[in-house]
Chains A and B, each alone.
Chain A
């Protein structure tokens, strides 16, 4: 498999994630879509790492996974506390900053 295959896969996953963020109204699903976008980036990095014969990209992937895990914890905590206050996780109802 050539580099292009990986890149196309990555682009498709990224596109799914992006569209998911845009059209989903459920906070958790939006969150998952964001994770998808991160994964797409990871695929990209690994692909280039193999193509260029260097380990830097893969090391980066490990770091991104760590950060993503931490971010997921914080994000879920935010969503949870939001749910406790509003009894909903529908983003359409999160609009108190409306001008």
Chain B
């Protein structure tokens, strides 16, 4: 089984590194993990090519029957969607693995890091290759676990372990909804296999089923898809559960690249795309998906405008781009969403690895106000970062343009004009804040002479990864997206991602061209504005900030989400918990338990005097006892 080996290689690496890493393998751990992930990549590419020629497989290896004919299946599904996800995940993962050799070279937990990376890769692979909702859920939870391990990798640092917990708990909220969704699927369709659930006739049947909940009539399909979408909100960092993603920056930078580009956050988009037969049947859910996506895109972009932490700028840009993807899936343009996921993986991975390279050079300083003028010191990092910035800004012919333009055109065509409008504005903001970071980091005068003098280009294992990703960021767009709205990606994903009844009207040539020009113009305008602000008139940013002070503060403080959550959710919970602890636990429960103990102690203190420790007293008592007993027995 070729496909199974894609999963088995990382598993073998986990076993080897996990059990023998600390004592025997130590600093050679990367050989094991990288070999495994490269073999997986190779197999993924083979599978991709096979799928290109019409190969597909849906095979259940083993079924666990629990009761009432509820079957827990273990099986894999290879179709075009899985194939493309496989390539993205294993490719980005390979690059990140290679990059980590240099980045983590001096770290204590070298073998631990590579073990975790393999776990992360394996979890994501389980998530995308499973042929049923339960394996999806298993992968889903494993991804959550490994993200917790990796974000909190430097656990001795308080902020890192906190960030790990935050990511885990925030995800758990979404996972709860997802779990309910999976159970509803099981109850409704009597099966968890995709092939059984995504059955047009069956879905038609349950489409109008309603159930009563506290006197309200709720449509089953709407509720089910909304519950599933909860999971996507958590995993893909959508509003209002996006708060964990920027904090995930506390982990090592390669991890950020992996989380943001290939694994974890793309899981939500994958879920919605995979369940497209369900989601496209529910108008309510589709609209919710569009609104959440658009809100997230806007939110992320506005916060990204004012941050000074380089990795946070990138994190909010991820939030924003994920909003795009979710928005696209909501409008029914599943292919455009997955395409954006695909292109985004390359340039976002590249951006993070560049940021890591910059941090490496700046002695782990990530404040852009401390940087500047690094262009000369780090030419490879600079050029690759520039390529990634152009790609994410949507300038043709780089990757981002093709997918972003498709999302915008599709949302316009499907009648979600509002989403299109927000998307266009976000495209402008994206270009602005990305080039803002570029100009601040690589141009101008060095702001911190000391750090600047020590800056140097990163080792070759890191720059190689950058160059590979930059190359991909340039070519994947035209390769898969040309011609627009009818490119290779459409032919490839068409069979699985175009729900038959869902028809998005085609735009006229002129309108399509106009939209394309508009989105390019927005990108260029953003770049130009950033150039004026940060290259020509460098006093303008401060002035603008002063002019729109409340708005600036709102954006700088991330819309006060953390503060709101703290006062609305966390603080009340802490207060209640404290009451439960000091009021209920100490005063009631402990009191009862302690009382039992005290009674026993009192009785003990009364009877302890009997125990004299003198053998002869005992013997005497015994003899008297025997005599008494004999007398009593013989007298009856």
Contact = CB atoms under 8 A, between A and B. Distances in A.
Nearest to B604: A99
B608 A18 contact: no
A98 B612 contact: yes
A96 B613 contact: yes
A91 B615 contact: yes
Contact of A99 (B608, B620, B623): B608
B611 A98 contact: yes
A91 B608 CA distance: 20
Interface residues of B, number: 13
B454 interface: no
B609 interface: yes
A52 interface: no
Nearest to B615: A91
A1 to B, nearest CB: 27
B156 interface: no
Contact of A18 (B607, B611, B613, B623): B623
A25 to B, nearest CB: 8
A38 interface: no
Contact of A97 (B613, B620, B623): B613
A18 B616 CA distance: 11
Nearest to A95: B613
B610 interface: yes
B614 interface: yes
Contact of B620 (A22, A30, A92, A96): A22
Interface string A20-41: 0111000000100000000000
A99 B619 contact: no
A23 B611 CA distance: 19
B614 A95 contact: yes
Interface string B583-612: 000000000000000000000000111111
A22 B611 contact: no
Contacts of A12: none
Given A99-B608, A99-B609, A91 B623 contact: no
Nearest to B609: A99
A95 B611 CA distance: 10
Contacts of A22: 616, 619-620, 623
Interface in A59-99: 91-92, 94-99
Contact of B614 (A21, A23, A30, A91): A91
Given A99-B608, A99-B609, A92 B619 contact: no
Nearest to A27: B615
Contacts of A98: 611-614
A43 to B, nearest CB: 20
A18 B619 CA distance: 9
A91 B616 contact: yes
A92 B609 CA distance: 16
Nearest to A23: B616
Contacts, number: 32
A23 B616 CA distance: 8
A44 to B, nearest CB: 16
Contacts of B608: 99
A21 B607 CA distance: 26
Interface residues of A, number: 13
Nearest to A34: B619
A12 B557 CA distance: 101
A92 B623 contact: no
Contacts of A91: 614-616
A18 to B, nearest CB: 7
Contacts of A96: 613
B449 to A, nearest CB: 76
B176 to A, nearest CB: 55
A32 to B, nearest CB: 15
A12 to B, nearest CB: 16
The interface centre, meaning the residue of A91, A98, A99 with most chain B CB atoms within 10 A of its CB, is A99
Contact of A92 (B607, B611, B614): B614
A97 B619 contact: no
Nearest to A18: B623
Interface string B605-636: 00111111111100110010000000000000
Contacts of B616: 21-23, 30, 91
A21 B612 CA distance: 17
Contact of B612 (A18, A30, A95): A95
Contacts of B619: 21-22
A83 to B, nearest CB: 16
Nearest to B608: A99
A99 B615 contact: no
Contacts of A97: 611, 613
Contacts of B613: 94-99
Contacts of B620: 22
B611 A99 contact: yes
Contacts of B610: 99
Contacts of B623: 18, 22
A29 to B, nearest CB: 12
Contacts of B611: 97-99
A94 B609 contact: no
Nearest to B623: A18
A94 B614 CA distance: 7
Contacts of A94: 613, 615
Contacts of A95: 612-614
Nearest to B618: A97
B129 to A, nearest CB: 67
A83 B146 CA distance: 64
A99 B623 CA distance: 21
Contacts of A18: 623
Contacts of A23: 616
A95 B614 CA distance: 6
A18 B620 CA distance: 9
A62 to B, nearest CB: 26
A41 to B, nearest CB: 14
A21 to B, nearest CB: 6
Contacts of A30: 616
Find the residue from A30, A94, A95 having the highest chain B CB count within 10 A: A95
Among all A-B residue pairs, the 10 with the closest Cβ atoms: A99-B611, A98-B613, A95-B613, A99-B608, A97-B613, A91-B615, A22-B620, A22-B616, A21-B619, A98-B612
Interface of B: 607-616, 619-620, 623
9 contacts: A18-B623, A21-B616, A22-B616, A91-B616, A92-B614, A94-B615, A97-B613, A98-B612, A99-B613
Given A98-B614, A99-B610, 15 more contacts: A18-B623, A21-B619, A22-B616, A22-B619, A22-B623, A91-B615, A91-B616, A92-B614, A94-B613, A95-B614, A97-B611, A98-B612, A98-B613, A99-B611, A99-B612
